[in-house]
Amino acid sequence: MTEEAAETWIVLGASSPIGRAFAREVARPGTHVILAGRDVDDLARTASDIRIAGQASVEVSRFDATDLSAHGKQAAHWAERPGTLNAILLFGTMPQQADIDADPALVLDCIASTYAGALSILHHLATHLEARKAGTVIGIGSVAGDRGRLKNYVYGSAKAGLHTYLAGLRNRLGRSNVHVMTVKLGFVDTGMTWGQPGLFLVASPEAVARRCLVAARKRRDVCYIPAFWLPIMTIIRSIPERIFKRLSI
């Protein structure tokens, strides 16, 4: 008998707190973890941690979401791994809406990674996953993508685009036994929400990472994490535009 086929997880945006927590969550003997991101010094530290604590094999892969021309080669390199290939996409750029309004050039910064970069790398990976007829893709979207709002609509629109893309990808890869899950994330306790006024119901990165993995194992298609965002966003989505346009939530 051969051993159980090795599993690989590609963590795109592994320096983020959720990326670190997710890498720890999947790391165990027999799993290969690819930590992809820009801050390779930081990723090397995370790699040591999960190599020692999770006894997984780990590699650090320098990855820039906006360097689109490199994506094809990178995806092909990652796809050289034997066994099941899985990916979680965590990166994104969220300038403050007020900063974008003051400097419209920031619109491109935001969508270059959050939307264009995400679609580019996922589309390259899709070809390889399709050929293998196995694997899981977790795309991290946002509750901000559910409705365009005064405070965050550029980032929100990029995430809405990502949600639509992931739905299509799910439709396509489902035929090849590859599962695509869309996560609509609420507030998470990271450096990016730190010090933001008026936040509530903030989840820990560890809890989010655990929920993502559990939901993916159940082969959920779309899920809100934490789950209480589903009723909240259902209400927010159902407010008529005539009223919504006057609100500043």
Partner 1 sequence: MTGILWGRPLMRWKRVEVTGWGRALRARSEVARPERLSDLPGIFQTSGTGGLSILAGGRSYGDSALNTGGSTLLTARLDRILSFDETTGVIEVEPGVTFRRLLEVFLSRGWLFPVAPGTGFVTIGGAVAHDIHGKNHQRDGTFGQHVTEFDLLTPRGLHLRVSPANEPDAFRATCGGCGLTGLITRIAFRMHRVPSPFVEVKERRIANLGAFLEAFEDAKDASYSVGWIDALAGGAKLGRGLMQVAEPASAAPASTPRVRARKVSFNFPAATINALTVRAFNALYLRRVPKTGRTRLVPYANFLHPLDAIEDWNRVYGRRGFHQFQCVVPYAAGERALRRMLELVVASRSASALSVLKRMGPGRAGYLSFPMEGYTLALDFPNRRNAPELYRQLVDVTLNHGGRVYLAKDALLSSDAFARMYPEFPDFQRVVARLDPDGLFRSDMARRLRMAA
Q: Is 45 in the site for partner 1 (CB under 8 A)?
A: yes
Q: Pick between residue 20 and residue 128 the one whose CB is nearest to partner 1.
A: 20
Q: Pick between residue 24 and residue 128 the one whose CB is nearest to partner 1.
A: 24
Q: Pick between residue 173 and residue 185 the one whose CB is nearest to partner 1.
A: 185
Q: Is 64 in the site for partner 1 (CB under 8 A)?
A: no
Q: What is the CA radius of gyration of the chain?
A: 18
CB neighbours of residue 20 within 10 Å: 23
Q: Is 22 in the site for partner 1 (CB under 8 A)?
A: no
Is the separation of the CB atoms in 202 and 189 below 8 Å?
A: yes
Which of the 8 DSSP states describes residue 3? P
Hey, which residues between 99 and 138 contact partner 1 (CB under 8 A)?
113
* Alpha-carbon gap, residue 56 to 7, rounded angstroms: 10
Choice from 63, 78, 91, 115 touching partner 1 (CB under 8 A): 91
Q: How far is CA 188 from the centre of its chain?
A: 13
Min dist CB 67 to partner 1, Å, is 15
Hey, which residues between 225 and 244 contact partner 1 (CB under 8 A)?
none
Which of the 8 DSSP states describes residue 37? E
Q: Pick between residue 94 and residue 169 the one whose CB is nearest to partner 1.
A: 94
* Token digits of residue 148: 């365009």
Hey, which residues between 182 and 221 contact partner 1 (CB under 8 A)?
185-188, 190-196, 199
- CB-based burial label for 169 (10 Å; 0-12, 13-18, 19+): buried
Q: 98 CB contacts (<8 Å, ≥6 apart)? A: none
Interface positions with partner 1 (CB under 8 A): 13, 15-18, 39, 41-42, 45-46, 48-49, 52-53, 90-94, 96, 113, 140, 142-145, 149, 151-152, 155-156, 159, 185-188, 190-196, 199, 249
